[in-house]
Amino acid sequence: MKRMATDNGPNHGAAAAEAMDDPVPGWVRAAAAGDARAWEQLVDRYDALLWSICRAFRMSDDDAADATQLTWLRLLENLGRIRDPQRLAGWLATTCRRECLASLRRSRSSVTVDDEHLDWLLGGVGPADQPLLVADQYAVLWQAFQRLSQWCQRVLRALVINAEDGPPSYRLAALELQRPVGSLGPTRARCLDQLRKLLDSGGI
């Protein structure tokens, strides 16, 4: 059985308080015991995360859907065995990534991705300028980002989407956000600080 290794780091005060507010472990327990509503909560919370991971592999919609559904079925068959429900997002992300890799291997002859990118996806070295996030780090980042204020999400999204291969374009981001260019630096710093706090309390 594919067991997911998780780090059980020290439970600092902030993380413990965070854990008390986290509904996910309760949902996992309830869903394992036959509570359909708890299962639906889990799906509502994490389906977008799985889809995002599949899309990062440049899979077609059909293949992404297959990998996503299989990931949910894997969770269903393992609900009673999840070792660390507080890190369920990481478990889901790792499982989804493995389903995507398996799917790519099965259909290698029909993948439209170029060879260099495919080698990277199958475990080779990535493009030098792009960090590779392990699946559970991706999940932690994704969760922390969702918990930022709507405004910070918009600001950071505008800054990174307009960056292409270089540094963020403050001018383009300012146009998109309809804010003065000069205000973006301090806003960016504030939002990244907030993101770091959320990442720290997420226990990475």
Partner 1 sequence: MSTEDPTARADGEPAVTLGELDDAGLLAALREMLSHDEPPPAWSADLAKGSYGWQALDAELAVLTADSGLATAQSVVRSGTASRLVVFDAADLSLEIEIEPGDRADSWRLIGQLSPGTPARIQVRQQRAEPVWVAADDRGRFTADHLVGAPLSLICARDGMRTAVTEWIPLG
CA distance 129 to 132: 10
The residue (of 14 and 43) whose beta carbon lies closer to partner 1 is 43
Binding mask 99-128 for partner 1 (x = CB under 8 A): x-xxx-xxxxxx------------x--x--
CA distance 94 to 47: 14
CA distance 101 to 91: 16
The residue (of 19 and 65) whose beta carbon lies closer to partner 1 is 65
Determine, following the binding rule CB under 8 A, whether residue 190 of this chain makes contact with partner 1: no
Q: Which of 19, 133, 172, 181 binds partner 1 (CB under 8 A)?
A: 133
Q: Which of 89, 100, 141, 152 binds partner 1 (CB under 8 A)?
A: 141
Say how many residues touch partner 1, by CB under 8 A: 74
Q: Which residue has the tokens 């146009």?
A: 175
Q: What is the smallest separation between the CB atom of 196 and partner 1, expressed in angstroms?
A: 8
CA distance 56 to 50: 10
Binding mask 11-30 for partner 1 (x = CB under 8 A): --------------------
The residue (of 20 and 36) whose beta carbon lies closer to partner 1 is 36
Q: Which of 15, 19, 192, 194 binds partner 1 (CB under 8 A)?
A: 192
Q: Buried b vs exposed e over 88-122: b needs ≥16 C-beta within 10 Å?
A: bbbbbbbbbbbbbeebbeeeeeebeeeeeebeebe
Determine, following the binding rule CB under 8 A, whether residue 200 of this chain makes contact with partner 1: yes
Q: Which residue has the tokens 């991971």?
A: 53
The residue (of 22 and 47) whose beta carbon lies closer to partner 1 is 47
CA distance 191 to 18: 20
Please identify, among the stretches 15-23, 94-102, 174-182, the one whose residues bind partner 1 according to the rule CB under 8 A: 94-102
Backbone φ and ψ for 63, nearest 5 degrees, come out as: -70, -40
* Cβ atoms < 10 Å from Cβ of 84: 14
Please identify, among the stretches 8-16, 18-26, 55-63, 172-180, the one whose residues bind partner 1 according to the rule CB under 8 A: 55-63
